Amino acid sequence: MFATKAIETDDKAALYRELAQQLEGLLSGERDAIANAANTAALLFTTLPDLNWAGFYFLRSPDELVLGPFQGNPACVRIAVGRGVCGAAVEQRRTMLVEDVHTFAGHIACDAASRSELVVPLIRDGRVLGVIDLDSPHVARFDRDDQRGIESIAQIYVKASDDLGVP
């Protein structure tokens, strides 16, 4: 049985190192992408402060993301590639760190309480599989340390999980 361990530190690099170790232990021996996404979302949501949403969107066709496992309020189910922060991350194949979502042209407001967002693409062998999406009710909640930390979390998830039949 896996038990999360509270991470008590003001050092974000140390926080993400410990979080990565916990995630590797949590996903060890499990290859199912949905199960791993569910546990990853739960770990992020319960470990990282000041989040109101943590979850996954998976690329189910060349032009559409579909909601995957998450923690938080109900969310938009389908997002067109190129639309919103998640769609932009897929289209541009890069992490999107948005300090204030109200200044992001085309932002999709699934939860009106969200003010900042961090979206990291899940990439395997050059193919985008989907994204990890984190939302916060605080402006500028995420910074480059969070970006690097969640990018490492995304790599752990991709390495541990089987493909999802992404086109």
Give the tens place of pLDDT for each residue, 23-62. 999 999 999 999 999 999 999 999 999 999 999 999 999 9
Mean pLDDT of all residues in 161-166 = 75
Q: Is the pLDDT of residue 125 over 70?
A: yes
Separation of alpha carbons 78 and 40, rounded Å: 21
Give the pLDDT of residue 3: 63
Give the pLDDT of residue 47: 94
Give the pLDDT of residue 108: 74
Q: Which domains does the chain have, with CATH numbers?
A: 12-160 (3.30.450.40)
pLDDT digits (tens, 9 = 90+) for 58-116: 999 999 999 999 999 999 999 999 999 999 999 999 999 999 998 887 767 776 788 99
Give the pLDDT of residue 167: 53
pLDDT digits (tens, 9 = 90+) for 135-149: 999 999 999 999 999
Residue 98 tokens, joined: 């948005």
Calculate the average pLDDT of the chain.
Answer: 92
Q: Is the pLDDT of residue 22 over 60?
A: yes
Q: Is the pLDDT of residue 166 over 70?
A: no
The full DSSP string for 75-131 is --SEEETTSHHHHHHHHHTS-EEES-GGGSTT---SSTT--EEEEEEEEETTEEEEE
Percent of the chain with pLDDT over 70: 92
